[in-house]
Each structure stands twice: as C-alpha cells, then as structure tokens.
Chain A
C-alpha cells in the first residue's frame, strides 16, 4: 500500500471518528444510538472516488468511533466487550460501504447518481437501505450479544440504527456527488429568485419550529411538515439538483435536531417513537425527492438528445433544399458566361469579367457541395460501442406515442444481445426514420405491426425493420433512396429521410436497403462489425 493510500486511510478514519463524535451528540437512550450517521455518507463518497483500498480506513474509523462511545458508560473490566462491539461495528460498516458502493458502481453512468431511475433506485434501495440494514444487523447484534444493551431494546435500537445509517447515506451522498464527483454545483446559477426562495423557505421552516417550541403549539408544525412534501417536489422542478440535495440535507438535519432537543412536533408518546417517526419521515421524503430529481434528470437528458437529433435532421434537410434551389440559378449564370465567351471571343476586358464570373460560380458550387455533404450527415462520426438491444429499445420508446395513436404494435423480436460500434445518435435517426415511414404507410391498416430484429453475421450486423405491409411497388422501389422523392402528401415528407439514412449507413461503411422478407416490407440497415 503506497503512502497516498495510507494517508487517505488514516484521514478517512479520523474524519469518520470526529463526524461520529459530532453525530453521537444526538444519541438518545436506550443504547445511545445516533439517529443520523453522517460518517457512512462521507465514507461512501470517499470509497467511491478512491476505490476499495480505503475500506481499512472505514473499518478503523468505525471501530474507533464506536468503541469510544461504549467505554465511558461501562466499567473497566468490560473494556474487552467494548472492543469486541467495536469490531462488530467495524465489520458491519465496512460491509455496508462495500455493498453500497459496489452496487452503485454497477449501474452508474458518467458519475450521475441521480441521472436515471435505475441508478437512483439502486442507490436508495441497495446503497442506502440494504447496506444500512447489514450495518445495523452486525452492530446491534454485537451490542446485544456482548450485553451492552438488553435484548428487549433490540428492535428499537436496530430500527433507529438502520434508519439513521440509511439517512446518513441517503441525504449527504447526493450533495457530495454534486460537490466533488460530477461537480454539478459549478453549473448552478445562483440567481435572485433561487436564493430568495431558498432563504424564505428555510426561514419559514425554522421559524415554525422555533414558534412551536416557544409556544408549545405542536399544531404549528404538524401541518407545514406535510405541506413540505409537495412544496419540495415543486422546488425540485424549479431548481437545479445540487440546491435541492442541500435543502433535503438541511431539512433532515434540522428536523432531527428539533425532535431530539425540543418539544417534538410529531405525534408520538416517547422520544424514541417521535424520533423514529421523524427519521422515517426524512427517509421517505428524501427518497421521494431523489426519485423526482432522477426522473427530471432523465427527461432533461432525453430532451437534449432529441433536440440535437431534430436539429441535425432539420439542418440537413434545410441545407439540402437550399443547395438545390441555388443550383438552378447558378446553372443559368454559368451557362450565360459560356454564351458570352462564345459570342464575344476570349480577348479583352469582357473576357476578364467573364473569368471573374466563372471563378465565382466555382466558388458557389463548392459551397453548395459543402451544404449537400452536410445534408448527407457528412459530419465526424462519434463512434462508440452500444448495445443493439438498448439502441432499438430507445428508438421504440421514442416512437411509441405515435404508434399507440395509430394502433400499431411495435415489438423487438429475438434478443439482440450484441454490441454495435457506431454513432448511436445517427443510427437511431435511421431506425426512427424507418419506424416513422412504416407507421405512415400503415396508418389506416387493420392489425398493423412493426417488428425490429437484429441479425449477426461474421463481419456485419443487420438491423431489420419489418412491417405488416406487403411490399412496395416496383416503380416506387426504384426511386426510394433518391433525394426529394416522396410518396407522402405535400408538407408531410421532404423526400430526404431515406436518402439521408442511406448516407448515414454508407458513412458507417454499411448500407441501407429494401427487402421483401416473408412477404413483408422490410428495410435492412447493415453495419460493419467491430471498427469502421
């Protein structure tokens, strides 16, 4: 183990220890269990960033942080028991962090903890809940076995420990991700309305808490606590992710603080019950908001993708038609210059002028060629390995609303468990274009269906879009891939979809062709396997 890792381990153990001491300030009887264990959240992020080599530091921190808590209330002879309890804690916490980080790492993409629902649910259910359950199981069982707490208190202590650890991970980890890992905090624009709303919101909550304490009117708090949920949900839509994450953390912290140290707001008889109620409230509020943020993030990412795709297609179509429109007048200018040369010879001032016309015509032709190249998507491909199944599924998801409107059944038959090396966005554009064409063709047909499939050959992969149509008439087939050819009504199609799609296929080193498969209309996109 090199020096850097050792240092990080020691530092992590120290931070764990001091944060644990701070959190133990909130501990209540029986068992002195802490309702929020921030050390776990810190370890989670640290191990996520630096790797599992920091697990010894987690163990050391957990051991020290807990042993010192048990030693003071018990007599010297029982020091061994306290050490053993610390050992149980250490193992439980280390396992907790390992399981949590491992699970999240399996599903996370581009360090976006709340980038999509899958990562967010894994984080909440495995990273936070399951891992804390294991930590609590080890920790509390150790305390009971060693007689530090009575068996009757097992359930109470367990539940407080479990939920405390869970919120200790759930609330701070998204904040730390925004601060240190995906650095989303940098993108936040702290404009006036954002600061105003946050300050007013927090002041309102704190004010109500204080008012409730000083007057003893629990009613002041009971209602706002539940109004908090929809308000925060709205805030999640209005404000950037890092701000919401910090707000949840603050609210969780204050709620626990006031529950423990002051007359509690929430209905409950004993402090333990009240505390548990607050903990569970924070846990469910926190997870709900994380899911909301995740779904917002996912939709934002999708819409950015769609906008780029739309813009590319529109720009392509626009430049193709502009290029075409300019071509005719340009032909007139070029031919005029030819006529001038022929009529007035190749000498004198007139000839110089005609030469200038010719050079300009060539220049414009070059510009037009450039525009047309763009129309055929002659941009640099951003090639990457993508799963065929996922690519097709994304296309189906995108076109599903239209399919449902026209009562067309779209399915992906046969499992496409192969990878394709391609520009994902462009290939999706081709598939979506084929799906749209198929849907337009079968708009008023009974029992219409579209099947997507994938065939793997030795050196190529075929993505096939087949529909319930019975083929395309031969005169149409001949012109299918020609630019500006369309069978759709005026205004519905530009006649560029298939020609651009074919351009994309060719650019990948593949091809796009029409085929009749088992009597049905099908388009086959062939892409080379491996590299282009």
Chain B
C-alpha cells in the first residue's frame, strides 16, 4: 500500500481529507505542523507528498528544500498565475478531491 503525506496547517481540512479519502487504498498521513512533517519525511519512506503553499511556519517551497529530493511532491495552492517552483511534480488546485488523489496514486 502506498503512503501519502498531506501537509496543511488547517486542522479542519486535514480531518476532512481523512474522512474524504478513507475508502482509498492508501496509507494517508496528515500533518498540520510542517516542522513535524519535515521530521517524519526525513525518517520514513513515503510515495507521495502533497504540501500546502502558504503555512505560517514554513512555506511549501521551504519545506520541499528540507526533505529528500527523491520524494515526489505536489504543491497545493489557490494562487493564480503561479509558476511551478523547482522540485515539484506539479501544482494542485486547492481544494482537491478524490479524483485528484487517485490520479496521483496511479502515477
């Protein structure tokens, strides 16, 4: 089973993601504190990582720089006109649903 990590500082949103994706064949982990996520990602093997762009402790881009290059990362953002920062597979519109996650798991 694949492991997917979602980092978003909104507690409610993380809980909702858990509920929304519960039927999906994947091991879903959510972090509201990006620093905890960094610690986890540096010690564990994960298959995909979805990171929110704007968080108080660290921006999504900064978080990306602190974790191994080998983890495929997706930047979740509501920003228009944002160009894809280096190190990310692609941008994901915020909020995202089941289809989006399934697409990621298939890749």
Decide whether A and B are members of one complex. Answer: yes
From residue 1 to 39 of chain B, which have CB atoms closer than 8 A to chain A? 10, 12-13, 16-17, 19-20, 23
List residues of chain A with CB within 8 A of the CB of B95: 330-332, 334-335, 338
- Contact partner of A327 among B61, B85, B94, CB < 8 A? B94
Q: How far is the CA of A338 from the CA of B98 in the complex (A)?
A: 9
Q: Is A215 an interface residue (CB 8 A)?
A: no
Contact indicator A335/B20 (Cβ below 8 Å)? yes
From residue 30 to 61 of chain B, which have CB atoms closer than 8 A to chain A? 54, 59, 61
List residues of chain B with CB within 8 A of the CB of A368: 78
- Contact partner of B78 among A324, A335, A479, A503, CB < 8 A? A324
Q: Is A485 an interface residue (CB 8 A)?
A: yes
- Contact partner of B81 among A330, A332, A485, A503, CB < 8 A? A503
Contact indicator B61/A331 (Cβ below 8 Å)? no
From residue 380 to 406 of chain A, which have CB atoms closer than 8 A to chain B? none
B55-96 vs A, CB cutoff 8 Å, 1 = contact: the mask equals: 000010100010000000000001111110110000000110
Contact indicator B85/A479 (Cβ below 8 Å)? yes
Min CB distance A329 to B, Å, is: 8
Contact indicator A328/B79 (Cβ below 8 Å)? no
Contact indicator A335/B79 (Cβ below 8 Å)? no
Contact indicator A376/B80 (Cβ below 8 Å)? yes
Contact indicator A483/B20 (Cβ below 8 Å)? no
Contact indicator B61/A479 (Cβ below 8 Å)? yes
Q: How far is the CA of A503 from the CA of B82 in the complex (A)?
A: 11
List residues of chain B with CB within 8 A of the CB of A372: 79-80
Contact indicator A331/B78 (Cβ below 8 Å)? yes
B-side interface residues, number (CB < 8 Å): 24
Contact indicator A332/B61 (Cβ below 8 Å)? no
From residue 337 to 385 of chain A, which have CB atoms closer than 8 A to chain B? 338-339, 342-343, 368-369, 372-373, 376
List residues of chain A with CB within 8 A of the CB of B10: 328, 331-332
Contact indicator B81/A376 (Cβ below 8 Å)? yes
Contact indicator A332/B13 (Cβ below 8 Å)? yes
List residues of chain A with CB within 8 A of the CB of B80: 369, 372-373, 376
Q: How far is the CA of A503 from the CA of B79 in the complex (A)?
A: 13
Q: Is A273 an interface residue (CB 8 A)?
A: no
> Provided the pairs A327-B94, A482-B85 are in contact, do residues A339 and B78 lie with their beta carbons within 8 angstroms?
no
Q: How far is the CA of A500 from the CA of B43 in the complex (A)?
A: 39
Q: Is A484 an interface residue (CB 8 A)?
A: yes
Contact indicator A332/B20 (Cβ below 8 Å)? no
A-side interface residues, number (CB < 8 Å): 27
- Contact partner of A339 among B16, B59, B79, CB < 8 A? B16
Q: Is A475 an interface residue (CB 8 A)?
A: yes
Contact indicator B20/A339 (Cβ below 8 Å)? yes
List residues of chain A with CB within 8 A of the CB of B61: 478-479, 482
Q: Is A336 an interface residue (CB 8 A)?
A: yes
Min CB distance B96 to A, Å, is: 8
- Contact partner of B82 among A334, A339, A482, CB < 8 A? A482
Q: How far is the CA of A331 from the CA of B16 in the complex (A)?
A: 10
List residues of chain A with CB within 8 A of the CB of B97: 335, 338
Which residue of the partner chain A has the closest CB to B78?
A327
A462-485 vs B, CB cutoff 8 Å, 1 = contact: the mask equals: 000000000000010011011111
List residues of chain B with CB within 8 A of the CB of A324: 54, 78-79
Which residue of the partner chain A has the closest CB to B94?
A331
Min CB distance A344 to B, Å, is: 12
Min CB distance B56 to A, Å, is: 12
> Provided the pairs A369-B80, A485-B59 are in contact, do residues A335 and B85 lie with their beta carbons within 8 angstroms?
no
Contact indicator A475/B19 (Cβ below 8 Å)? no
Contact indicator B86/A478 (Cβ below 8 Å)? yes
Min CB distance A332 to B, Å, is: 5
Which residue of the partner chain B has the closest CB to A503?
B81
List residues of chain A with CB within 8 A of the CB of B94: 327, 331
Min CB distance B72 to A, Å, is: 19
Contact indicator B82/A335 (Cβ below 8 Å)? no
Contact indicator A335/B17 (Cβ below 8 Å)? yes
Which residue of the partner chain A has the closest CB to B82?
A482
Q: How far is the CA of A475 from the CA of B54 in the complex (A)?
A: 17
From residue 481 to 530 of chain A, which have CB atoms closer than 8 A to chain B? 481-485, 503
Q: How far is the CA of A478 from the CA of B20 in the complex (A)?
A: 34
- Contact partner of B16 among A327, A336, A369, CB < 8 A? A336
Q: How far is the CA of A363 from the CA of B80 in the complex (A)?
A: 17
Which residue of the partner chain B has the closest CB to A325?
B54
List residues of chain B with CB within 8 A of the CB of A331: 10, 13, 78, 94-95
List residues of chain A with CB within 8 A of the CB of B98: 338, 342
Q: How far is the CA of A327 from the CA of B97 in the complex (A)?
A: 15
Min CB distance A194 to B, Å, is: 50
Q: How far is the CA of A342 from the CA of B16 in the complex (A)?
A: 12
Which residue of the partner chain A has the closest CB to B13?
A332
Known: A335-B17, A342-B19, A376-B81. 16 other contacts (CB 8 A): A324-B79, A327-B94, A331-B13, A331-B94, A331-B95, A332-B12, A332-B13, A335-B16, A342-B20, A372-B79, A478-B61, A479-B61, A481-B83, A483-B82, A484-B59, A503-B81
25 CB < 8 A contacts A-B: A324-B54, A327-B78, A327-B94, A328-B13, A330-B95, A331-B10, A332-B12, A332-B13, A335-B20, A338-B98, A339-B16, A339-B19, A342-B19, A342-B20, A342-B98, A372-B80, A478-B85, A478-B86, A479-B59, A479-B61, A479-B85, A481-B83, A482-B82, A482-B85, A485-B59
List of 4 A-B pairs having minimum Cβ-Cβ separation, nearest first: A331-B95, A327-B78, A335-B16, A339-B19
